[in-house]
Amino acid sequence: MARILILGASGEMASAAIRELLRNSDHELLLADRYAPSLAELDRQRKRARTVLCDLFDGKQLAQLLSKCDLVLNALYMRYVLPVTRAAIEAGAHLVDLGAYATDTAQQLSLHPKARKAGSRIVMGCGVAPGLTNILARHAIDQLEHVERIGIYSYITHPLTTSPGIVYTRFDASMGLCPVCIEGKLVRRPAFADSEVIEFPPPYGRQEVHLVPHPEPLTLWRSFRVPNVVFKVGYPADETQRLRALIELGLASAEPFSLGGKAVVPREFIAEYIPTTHRPGRARTANVKRVVVTGVCHGQRRSLTYDFAVESGRRSASAKITGTFAALAACQVLDVGRPGVYAPETGLNAGALLGELERRGFEIRESLGDTG
């Protein structure tokens, strides 16, 4: 039995991970959050777990927590991935997180020598994307003799009103440069570029998707030198319109301005305000993924397609699969592996993870096509 520290324990993703670990493991859990009311609720539900109030952005407090655990499951916002990674290495603790965008992922990978020396095993991006998307790509790679292209496509319907985390995520996914592998070269294209229409399974149908700075093209290229890799995402048209408007008005900026003598950060204000406009009783939302891998099998060009969708009538359609995947990854990292920093496709056992997800009722459909 090991002790797992969960950062941001009151969040939706962490809550799903906690449920999975309590039901299907014997590990002791240390649940850390900075909000006392949230911890009080966790206390009422606890079993083999204890809570601790902590400013998770205070380096000294975080170091003290890390010294008391074997593995950290980091469920904080993406912008805290790097500080937590460095802290885990300093403490010699193992770590899984829910992922970051390409720039921070590259910096995490650069910490591999330090992690190896510290005896710290770190697997980044253990959510639905990155995470499950990488594992599906790896599963296809293992079945093909040669891989020519990986296309990862996402369609997400939960709105900006879902949570502050969704607002931050949409902003970060809509700015900066996106890694794309084209004929063996890793290039960077602007967010929102290269839009196209992808046919998702019913009932989602044809949806427009565009580039985002997801790390899958970067890590899959580094791991297997796949010559062509792309990740694109799409939202309902009205959501895309709102997101573009907020960005064009400068409300995604992290630069503070003075309002009545007080410093206000536009994106922080928007992230806190928009979820307050949430209207209960809205329609079910969905997080839909399609991973298409083309290559050669037994001398013939083939394509393997994986379709996955999770729906919710509550707040986030992504929370259950993300938290469950992260918990399963944490258990794998505790059981096996060498120290260092790894992407999901090289740091996790793809077949074992897919089997565990199937046993928990997550349906992933695989189809084989002949591309001539």
Q: Are residues 119 and 214 in the same domain?
A: no
Token pair for 229: 């890799």
Q: Are residues 173 and 305 in the same domain?
A: yes
Q: What is the largest CA-CA distance in the chain?
A: 69
**In the predicted model, what is the mean pLDDT of residues 354-360?**
95
Q: Are residues 253 and 124 in the same domain?
A: no
3-class DSSP state of 97: strand
User: Would the pLDDT of 156 be above 80?
Assistant: yes
Q: Are residues 89 and 150 in the same domain?
A: no
Q: Are residues 37 and 119 in the same domain?
A: yes
Q: Are residues 225 and 141 in the same domain?
A: yes
Number of domains in the chain: 2
Tokens 């565990």 sit on residue? 356
| CATH number of domain containing 68 | 3.40.50.720
Q: Are residues 124 and 148 in the same domain?
A: no
Vertex 168: Cα angle to 167 and 174 (nearest 5): 90
**What is the Cα–Cα distance from 96 to 27, expressed in whole angstroms?**
15
Q: Are residues 154 and 300 in the same domain?
A: yes
pLDDT digits (tens, 9 = 90+) for 26-44: 999 988 887 654 555 555 5
Question: Which residues, 6+ apart, have CB-to-CB distance to 281 below 8 Å?
Answer: none
| CATH number of domain containing 308 | 3.30.360.10
pLDDT digits (tens, 9 = 90+) for 200-248: 999 999 999 999 999 999 999 999 999 999 999 999 999 999 999 999 9
Q: Are residues 27 and 84 in the same domain?
A: yes
Q: Are residues 172 and 146 in the same domain?
A: yes
pLDDT digits (tens, 9 = 90+) for 77-93: 888 899 999 999 999 99
The reported pLDDT for the residue numbered 61 is: 77
- Asked if residues 307 and 287 have their Cβ atoms less than 8 Å apart, the reply is no
Structural domain of 82: 3-128+319-357
Q: What is the pTM of this model?
A: 0.92
Q: Are residues 155 and 304 in the same domain?
A: yes
Q: Are residues 349 and 286 in the same domain?
A: no
